Structure 1
C-alpha cells in the first residue's frame, strides 16, 4: 500500500485536473443524495396530499438535476481519463529512463520479460487505480458517508439497527482486499515468467526450428501458461464470490428496513415518504460498498503493480559518478594503464574472472588481446568504459582513475564494437550515424569505407536508405559487423575497442579493414580482442590471456620466442611452420607442397 502512495508525486503536474475531477464528482454526489429527499417530498406532500403541482414541479426539478448530473459526470470522466493516461505515460518514461541508467551489472540481474511486464502491464494497472480513484473510488465513499448522515437525519433509530450490517459488509470487503493483494502479486510473477519464455522463444525461433525443439518449447510455454492461468483462476474465483455475499447483506438490510420502517409508518412515527427515502439512502450506502468491493481487484492489482514498479525505480545503478566527477581532457591522448586489476561478477565469493592484470596501452598504437574462449577478454575490455567496476586495483586513462571521471565524459571518448552486433530498426544510414546523429552523408560514407562496408551497402536495394529489419535479419553477420564498425569509427574516438568485431568476415576483408584502420585511425588507442591470430599479427603489442591472467605480453616476434601459450595458439591456427614476424611486418607461413 505504501508504494502506491509513493507514486502520488506523479499526480503533481496534473493537480488542477485532479481537483477539477473531484469537484465535479462531489457535485454529482450531492445531486444523487438530493434525489431521495425529492422522492420523499413527492410522496408526502404531493401524492399523499393529492397536490399535483408539487408532483409536477418536484419531478421537473429531479429531471433537471439528473441532466446536470450527467454533464458533470461526463466532465469528471474526461478529466479522470486524461489524468490517468498522463500518469501512466510519465511512469513509463520514468521507468524507461531508470533502465537507461542501469549498469551492465544491474541489467545482468534483471530479465527482459520482467521489465517488459513492468513497463506495460504494471503501469496500466496503476493507471486504472488513478482513473478509478478519481471516479468510482472517490464517488462511492462520498456517497456512502452522505447517505449515512441523511439516514441518521431521517431516522436515527432505524439507522442504528442497520449499523451491524454495515460493519459486517465493511469487514467482508477489507478481508477480500487483503486476501487478493498477494494473489495478484503471484499472478504478476507468473506473468513475468510467461513473458520471459515467450520473449526467449520469439528471439530464438530460428534456432528452435533448426534443432527441431518446437515440442520442447511448447512444453515450456504450456507450463508457464498453466501456472499463470491457475493463479488467475484463484483470483477470479475469489472476486466472483464477493458480489453474491455483499448482495445478501444488501437484501438483508432491505428486509430489515422495510419491516422496521413499515411498523414505524403504521404507528405513525414515520411517514411513508421517509421510509422510501430511508430505503433509497440504504441503497446509496450499500451500493457504494458493493462497487468498492468490485473495484477492490483494481486496487489490489494496483498495489501489487506499484510494489513491482518501485522495485525497479528504487534500484541504484552499480556504476555512479562521484559527487564531483572529473571531465576527460578535450585533447586526451588515450593512454590506458591497468594496475593490478582483479574482477569478479557482483563481487561474488567465486573465483575471479580477471586476476592481477597489469599492462599499458599507448596512444596511437594498437593493443591486441588474444586468448581462448572464457579467458576473460571481453570482460577486460568492458572494464575500460566502466561498464563494470573493478573488484580491486585501478584503471587509469591519461593518469586519471576512471572511477573519478564523469560517465558521459568517459563514454564520449570511447567507442566499442561489441561481440554481439546490435542494429536498430531504421535505415543503414541512421544506424551508422547512431552515435553522431548530426553527421552528414560524406562523413558516413568515409566511415563505411574504412569499415569495408561501402561497397556492399551500395549493392543493397536502396543503398544507404535500405531499411534494417528487426535485429538486422536482412543482413549477413559480416555485413552487420561492418556497419557496427563504421558506427564506431564515425564517432572519432580516442579509444577504439573492437571486441572480436571481424569474426564474421573473411580473411581478405579483415585484412583490408586492418589496413584502413592502420592508415586512417592511428590518432586513437586501438584495442582489438580476437581469437584468430591473423587478426593480431600487426598489433604493436599483444597480450595473451589464459584463465583470467596474463600469460604473455609483447609483439608477435617476441611472443613466439617467450610465450608457450602464444606459440601453441599459432601452431593450432597457422600450422607448426609459422615463422616469427618478418622484417616487412607480416607473419608468413611456409607453403606445404601437396
Structure 2
C-alpha cells in the first residue's frame, strides 16, 4: 500500500503541474490573438492560435481530472490506513483505553477525525500544490507583461494577508472546539440509543430530548459562528478582486493611451492578477482547514501513540491445552487501577485444577470482576504471579492465554448474524452436534429448537430480539463450544431463574469434566456446590473453602448467606 500511495501522490503532483502550466499559458495566447490577430485583422492567425488554446484547455481539463483522481485515491488510502491502525490499536489495547476515552470518542476519532485528515490531504494535493505554483508563475508572467502595473499588488497583497490572518485568528479555535462538541453529541446520542428502555421506564424522554437538544444547539451555534466567519472571506475577496480589476483597468487605460501598453497585454495582465488573487484564496482556505485537521490528527495520535500497558514478551513461552491436567493459580496477586490510591485487589492467592468449580462471592465493589479479568490479561497485575498450566501468563502472548479461556462477561454480548455464527465465534470448526451439546448444557436447547430456523435463526444487533436470560444462556453456550482449559462466568447467571440456574450448574459439573470453572456470583445458591469458594471483601480474600467450611468458620460468608437465605434454609 505504501508503494501505491507514493505513486498516487507523485502522479497527483505531476498532473497538477501540467494543469497549472496549461492555465498559465492561456492568457499569453489570448494576448497574442488580440495584439497580433485582432489588431492586424489576421484571421488565419486567430484561428491557429485559437486551436492552440483549445488544445491547452483540453490538456488542462484532462490534467485536472487526473489530479483529482490520484489526489482522492491518495487521501482515501490514507484514511483507510489510519482507520485500520486506530482500529487495530484499540483492539489490541487493554480496556484502560476504553475507560480513558470512552466509546463515543473512540468512534468519533475513527470516523470524523480521520475524514478531516483525509479531506485536508486531498486539498493539499490539489490546492496546496496549485496555489504556490500559480502564484509564482502568474506573478512572473504579469511582471513580464507590465512591470509598472505589478505595483498594485504591493497594496492588494498585504490587505489580503491581514484579512486572512483575522479570519484564521477567530475561526481556528472554533474549529478545534467543534471536535470536542462532536464527541459530546455522539456520547449523548449513544447513551440515548443504548438506554432507551431505561429512559422510557423513568419517563425521562423529555429530559433526554432537552439534553440532546442543548448539545446539538451548542454544536450548531459554534458551527454557525465559524462558518459565518469563514464565509465572509469570499465576499471580501471578491471586493478586493473587483477593486484590483478597477485599478488595473484605470492605470492600464492610461498606459494604453500613452502607447506604453498593448490591449492584449492588459487583458492578459488582468487574468494573471485574478490567478494571483485566487491563489491567495486557495491558500487561505487551506490555512483555515489545516488547524481543524491538525486537531483531528492530534486526537488520532493520542490513540496511535498511546502506551500499551498489556505487552507480549519479547521471547514468549508457549502453553498448550492440558484438558484433565489443567491448572490455574494466583500467588499474592495485587492490582490497582490507574490513578487509584488504594489497591483493588491485594494479596490474592488460590489454586484450582481441572474438574474443579471455583466460585467467587463478595459484596459490590469487592473486586470480583477485576479478579477474573486478570486471567485473560484484560489487565496486567501490579505484583504477584498468575499461572496457567504451570506457566506465568505474563510470559505468554495474549493470544496464547486467550486461546485456552472461554469467557462470559457480566453483560451478555451477542453479534449480529445467526445463532450458529455466534456459537462458532470461539471455535469456527464447531459441528452442529457440538453446538447443540453446548446449548443443552447452557439450558438453551429448548428455546433455540423452538425457533423456526433453529441454529440459523437471526440474531439482531446486541441480541435485541432475545430476552436477558436467553442472551445469557447463548453467551454461556458460546463459551462452552470453545475447547478451553478455563471457563470464566462473570456473574453470568444473574438473569436466570433459580430452577434454570440449578439445572445449568448441575449440567456444568456433569458435562465440563476437563477444565476449570471460575464463577462470579451474587447469589449463594449459585456458589453453594462449588469445590472452592473465595470470599472477597474490599479486594482481599477473607475466606476460602467449601460452603460448609465457610459457613462454620467465616463471619463475612455467614453474613452474605444470612442476607439471602432464611434460618430454616440454613
- TM-score (structure 2 length as normaliser): 0.95
2:335 pairs with 1:343: yes
Distance (whole Å) between structure 2 residues aligned to residue 283 and residue 12 of structure 1: 38
Do the aligned partners of 1:183 and 1:235 also contact (CA within 8 Å) in 2?
Answer: yes
Distance (whole Å) between structure 2 residues aligned to residue 384 and residue 257 of structure 1: 78
Distance (whole Å) between structure 1 residues aligned to residue 188 and residue 252 of structure 2: 61
Instruction: Please state whether the residue corresponding to 1:387 is helix, strand or coil.
Output: coil
2:238 pairs with 1:247: yes
Equivalences for 1:402-551 in 2 at 5 Å?
Answer: 402-551=393-542
Do the aligned partners of 2:472 and 2:493 also contact (CA within 8 Å) in 1?
Answer: yes
Do the aligned partners of 1:177 and 1:300 also contact (CA within 8 Å) in 2?
Answer: no
Shift of the alpha carbon at 1:496?
1.0
- Picking from 213, 221, 241, the partner of 2:212 is 221
Distance (whole Å) between structure 2 residues aligned to residue 483 and residue 256 of structure 1: 79
State the partner residue of 2:150. 159
Shift of the alpha carbon at 1:41?
0.5
Distance (whole Å) between structure 1 residues aligned to residue 451 and residue 467 of structure 2: 12
Superposed CA deviations along residues 285-339 of structure 1, whole A, max 9, x for unmatched, are 1122223334544333322222222222111222111222222244374322222
Shift of the alpha carbon at 1:438?
2.3
State the partner residue of 1:18. 9
Distance (whole Å) between structure 1 residues aligned to residue 279 and residue 436 of structure 2: 68
Distance (whole Å) between structure 2 residues aligned to residue 344 and residue 577 of structure 1: 41
Distance (whole Å) between structure 2 residues aligned to residue 38 and residue 69 of structure 1: 14
- Picking from 195, 200, 204, the partner of 2:191 is 200
Instruction: Please state whether the residue corresponding to 1:415 is helix, strand or coil.
Output: strand
- Picking from 25, 29, 34, the partner of 2:25 is 34
- Picking from 53, 57, 69, the partner of 1:66 is 57
- CA distance change for structure 1 residues 328 and 177 in 2, over 3 Å: closer, same or farther? farther
Task: Using the TM superposition, name which of 131-140 and 521-530 deviates more.
Answer: 131-140
State the partner residue of 2:163. 172
Superposed CA deviations along residues 113-142 of structure 1, whole A, max 9, x for unmatched, are 111211221222122112222223322222
2:73 pairs with 1:82: yes
Superposed CA deviations along residues 41-100 of structure 1, whole A, max 9, x for unmatched, are 111111122222222221222122222322222222222223332322222222111111
Shift of the alpha carbon at 1:523?
1.1
2:110 pairs with 1:116: no
- CA distance change for structure 1 residues 536 and 472 in 2, over 3 Å: closer, same or farther? same
Distance (whole Å) between structure 1 residues aligned to residue 352 and residue 171 of structure 2: 59
Do the aligned partners of 1:243 and 1:294 also contact (CA within 8 Å) in 2?
Answer: no
Shift of the alpha carbon at 1:524?
0.8
Shift of the alpha carbon at 1:374?
2.0
Distance (whole Å) between structure 1 residues aligned to residue 87 and residue 361 of structure 2: 37
Instruction: Please state whether the residue corresponding to 2:451 is helix, strand or coil.
Output: coil
2:289 pairs with 1:298: yes
Distance (whole Å) between structure 2 residues aligned to residue 69 and residue 485 of structure 1: 64
Task: Using the TM superposition, name which of 204-213 and 557-566 deviates more.
Answer: 557-566
Instruction: Please state whether the residue corresponding to 1:135 is helix, strand or coil.
Output: helix
Distance (whole Å) between structure 2 residues aligned to residue 539 and residue 556 of structure 1: 8
Structure 2 gaps, min length 5: none
Shift of the alpha carbon at 1:410?
0.8
Distance (whole Å) between structure 1 residues aligned to residue 318 and residue 461 of structure 2: 36
State the partner residue of 1:4. none
Distance (whole Å) between structure 2 residues aligned to residue 339 and residue 164 of structure 1: 78
State the partner residue of 1:53. 44
Task: Using the TM superposition, name which of 75-84 and 494-503 deviates more.
Answer: 75-84
Task: Using the TM superposition, name which of 171-180 and 118-127 deviates more.
Answer: 171-180
Do the aligned partners of 1:11 and 1:87 also contact (CA within 8 Å) in 2?
Answer: no
Distance (whole Å) between structure 1 residues aligned to residue 266 and residue 466 of structure 2: 79
Task: Using the TM superposition, name which of 374-383 and 291-300 deviates more.
Answer: 291-300
The alignment's C-alpha RMSD in Å is 2.0
Equivalences for 1:127-142 in 2 at 5 Å?
Answer: 127-142=118-133
Distance (whole Å) between structure 2 residues aligned to residue 508 and residue 347 of structure 1: 43
2:344 pairs with 1:353: yes
Instruction: Please state whether the residue corresponding to 2:303 is helix, strand or coil.
Output: helix
Distance (whole Å) between structure 2 residues aligned to residue 472 and residue 359 of structure 1: 36
Do the aligned partners of 1:182 and 1:304 also contact (CA within 8 Å) in 2?
Answer: no
Distance (whole Å) between structure 2 residues aligned to residue 169 and residue 572 of structure 1: 77
2:529 pairs with 1:557: no
Superposed CA deviations along residues 522-567 of structure 1, whole A, max 9, x for unmatched, are 2111111111111112211111112222221111111121012222
Shift of the alpha carbon at 1:395?
2.1
Shift of the alpha carbon at 1:152?
1.9
State the partner residue of 2:252. 261
Shift of the alpha carbon at 1:175?
4.7
Shift of the alpha carbon at 1:448?
1.4
Do the aligned partners of 2:124 and 2:286 also contact (CA within 8 Å) in 1?
Answer: no
